[in-house]
């Protein structure tokens, strides 16, 4: 594909994106203590052609949740952005620098299944909450 054709496709896709309303956001059960930094995770299945109207919703930065009490960041993206051959990439990481850099990845999964991603996000949100298993204090005799 020539660069002119790519530019035309990109321009027409951006124009259509502005004309079409966004689909509804994906419902999530988010426990107390979590902040949604950004959310472009829509309730649509990843069944599309590269660079079509639906593909616009599948990009590298789709959802980020932060728990300031535990210092955990959960991040969701679609890699390769706008490509039908991509996959969801979900990470849980320890927050690092104040500028938002992530220090260390705790968990990582890749999947094309939106159901698996939603179930995993909700499980990780509980697990990495202040009162979740990852931070629950052990009784003194259980060391």
pLDDT of residue 142: 46
Nearest alpha carbon to residue 49 among 4, 89, 9: 9
Residue-wise pLDDT tens for the chain (143 aa)?
Answer: 455 555 555 555 555 555 667 899 999 999 999 999 999 999 988 887 777 788 788 899 999 999 999 999 999 999 987 888 899 999 999 987 555 555 678 999 999 999 999 999 999 999 999 878 877 765 555 44
Reference 82, options 109, 110, 113, 54; nearest CA is: 54
Residue 1, in any domain of the structure: no
**pTM of the complete model:** 0.76
Preceding omega of 38 cis (within 30 degrees of 0): no
- Count of structural domains within the chain: 1
Residue 38 lies in a domain: yes
In a domain, 18, yes or no: no
Q: Is residue 3, in this structure, part of any structural domain at all?
A: no
Number of helical (H) and strand (E) elements in the chain, helices listed first = 2, 5
Per-residue DSSP letter, 110? E
86 found inside a domain: yes
Is residue 15, in this structure, part of any structural domain at all? Answer: no
| Domain assignment present for 85 | yes
Helix (H), strand (E) at residue 124:
helix 114-127
In a domain, 143, yes or no: no
What pLDDT does 18 receive? 57
Distance of alpha carbon 44 from alpha carbon 39, whole angstroms = 14
Q: What is the pLDDT of residue 40?
A: 95
Domain housing 89: 24-137
- Which tokens in the block code for residue 44? 């649509």
Q: By the 8 A CB rule, do 93 and 106 touch?
A: yes
DSSP 8-state code for residue 98:
T
The pLDDT value given to residue 143: 44
Answer yes or no: are the C-beta atoms of 57 and 34 closer than 8 Å: no
Residues facing 105 on adjacent strands: 93
137 burial via Cβ count (<10 Å: 0-12, 13-18, 19+) = exposed
Within 10 Å of residue 72's Cβ, how many Cβ atoms?
A: 25
């Amino acid at each position: 594909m020539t660069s002119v054709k790519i530019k035309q496709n990109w321009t027409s896709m951006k124009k259509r994106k502005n004309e079409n309303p966004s689909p509804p956001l994906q419902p999530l059960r988010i426990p107390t203590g979590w902040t949604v930094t950004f959310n472009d995770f829509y309730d649509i299945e990843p069944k599309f052609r590269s660079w079509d109207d639906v593909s616009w919703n599948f990009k590298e930065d789709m959802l980020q949740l932060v728990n300031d009490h535990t210092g955990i960041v959960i991040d969701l993206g679609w890699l390769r952005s706008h490509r039908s051959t991509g996959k969801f990439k979900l990470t849980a990481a320890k927050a690092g620098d104040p500028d938002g850099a992530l220090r260390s990845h705790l968990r990582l999964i890749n999947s094309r299944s939106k159901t698996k991603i939603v179930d995993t996000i909700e499980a990780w949100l509980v697990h990495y909450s202040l009162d979740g298993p990852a931070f629950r204090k052990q009784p003194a005799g259980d060391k």
